[in-house]
A and B are shown apart, each in its own frame.
Chain A
Amino acid sequence: MNTTDNLRKTIKTLISEKKVDLFLGWEKGSLPLSATPLFVTTGEQAERAIFDVTCGNNLSIYFTKDKKQYANKKVGIAVKGCDARSVVLNILEKQIKREDVVIVGVPCNGVLDKKKVLAATEGREVLELVDNGDTVTVKGKGFELSLNRQEILSSSCLACIYPDAQEYDFFMGEARGEVPNEERVKEIIDFQNLPDSDRWEQTRAEYQKCIRCYACRNVCPSCYCNVCFVDQNDPKWIGSTCEYTDSVIFHVIRNLHVAGRCVECGACERACPMDINLLMMNRKVAMEVKDRFGDVAGLDINGKPAMSDFKEDEKQKFIMG
């Protein structure tokens, strides 16, 4: 039985046994390259649930961004590895209660990045997509391409270490376990070895592209302040234009706000209309947090997010003697 059938069956059981009032999953989107969030309240609706390479959405954002909707409700949620870590963080940050959520893990082999698919089809519109596992077939007007899965995966998936949910009630299929991933740090170490002037030039070039649409923030499961610092008027921290220093500051501060909380789901990067390499900074921060504090965001449901904790005897070489 494949994951989708398994998932549908589980949702139906959960709904019919009244274990959940609502189930969050994915359904086929109106556009072939992206699945749409699905809100299941009845058994029939469960038939629409799917899980494949297009299911990029991190559904846990509904718990924080649409909080009222989910208060005092039992909610089931389908999660990939990264989404599960987001849910764990939501629980740690007291946005939802563990007993109010039923976590259903799905075995994830990565989700696609639309921009990479469109690059592979040379900009031709894709009308149909079939996920065959190792390959993905895309069809459009007058062409049919079989693409290697690895080539179209989101960069966050290529660098993924925890593809399976670490905290779950049900798991649909076989877990892959921890994937050691050297690629993840290579890019960062290469970048770090450059002289600082080159690093600044690259940062500047990258963030100069930013049009400050805040899509990365809006889609981020860890970004849920009532008023974001960029939206404040008094004091107005960040200018309204696309001036690059403002953009760099926005991204640095956003990264620090999600330091030790970013699960590297890559939603920001997939949402970015300007194709900015946003995750590099996140990964650097995650590396620092892990090296210094030994914490990985969203793995330990009994832990504490790194930045709201401290130990008395921490390394402090960076402090002037």
Chain B
Amino acid sequence: MSEWQPRILAILCNWCSYAGADLAGVSRMQYPPSIRVVRVPCSGRVDPLFILKSLQSGFDGVLVSGCHPGDCHYISGNYVARRKFAVLKPLLEFIGVEPGRVQFSWISAGEGDRFAKVVTRITEDVRELGPATRLVKKL
């Protein structure tokens, strides 16, 4: 049987990370086919509820990516997002969700190679953890 391929939700901001993913694609960079992309206007749009909800509905991991600090299209969206994630991540780890499942990164529109690397890394991390069981709704 072929190796288990995790399913990871990638929430990417329209202006940087989504364009970064696009660049990785048009540059024909190789990365694992494990992500499902959701495009959001800004990383500040990402409600922690989206992240928890995707874990609950069976995603094995969640990647949230936005513009580098200082590069936000809306000036300060990613700073606000950073505060949210800075509290969300330790809280999720605190209640016992494995640290590798939910990850954040900054990827600019020019960093196609970085996008490929980040996806490879989170896929490896999640593969090591195995399929998600905690917080998954089984009904």
- A interface residues, Cβ below 8 angstroms from B: 191-192, 196-204, 229, 237, 239, 241, 243, 245-246, 248-249, 252-253, 255-256, 259-260, 281, 284-285, 288-289, 292-293, 306-307, 309-312, 314-316, 318-320
Contacts and interface: CB of A to CB of B under 8 A. Distances in A.
A212 to B, nearest CB: 14
B96 A199 contact: yes
Q: Is the interface of A mostly helix, strand, loop or mixed?
A: helix
Contacts of A312: 69-70, 79
A249 B52 contact: yes
Contact of A256 (B76, B79, B88, B121): B88
23 contacts: A196-B93, A196-B97, A196-B99, A200-B96, A202-B96, A204-B134, A237-B53, A252-B92, A252-B95, A253-B48, A255-B91, A256-B87, A256-B91, A285-B87, A285-B91, A307-B84, A314-B86, A316-B82, A318-B85, A318-B90, A319-B85, A320-B103, A320-B104
Interface in B63-93: 69-70, 76, 79-80, 82-93
Q: Which of A241, A316, A320 has the most CB of B within 10 A?
A: A320
Contacts of A309: 83
A280 B136 CA distance: 23
A24 B101 CA distance: 47
Given A319-B105, A320-B118, 14 more contacts: A197-B96, A237-B49, A243-B139, A245-B136, A246-B56, A248-B135, A284-B91, A288-B91, A292-B86, A310-B79, A314-B82, A315-B86, A316-B86, A319-B82
B71 to A, nearest CB: 12
B94 interface: yes
B98 A288 contact: no
Interface residues of B, number: 40
A259 B48 CA distance: 12
B28 interface: no
Contacts of A191: 94
A288 B56 contact: no
B45 to A, nearest CB: 15
Contact of A245 (B88, B96, B137): B137
Contacts of A245: 56, 135-137
A310 B76 contact: yes
A207 to B, nearest CB: 9
Contacts of B90: 284, 288, 318
Nearest to A259: B87
B124 to A, nearest CB: 12
B9 interface: no
Nearest to B86: A292
* Interface-central residue, B85, B86, B90, B104, by most chain A CB under 10 Å: B86
Contacts of B53: 237, 249
Given A245-B136, A284-B94, A307 B83 contact: yes
A297 to B, nearest CB: 13
Contacts of B82: 310, 314, 316, 319
Contacts of A239: 137, 139
A281 B96 CA distance: 12
B18 interface: no
A310 B86 CA distance: 11
Nearest to A241: B139
B122 interface: yes
B106 interface: yes
Contacts of B121: 320
A199 B94 contact: yes
Given A249-B56, A253-B52, A312-B70, A199 B95 contact: yes
A320 B122 contact: yes
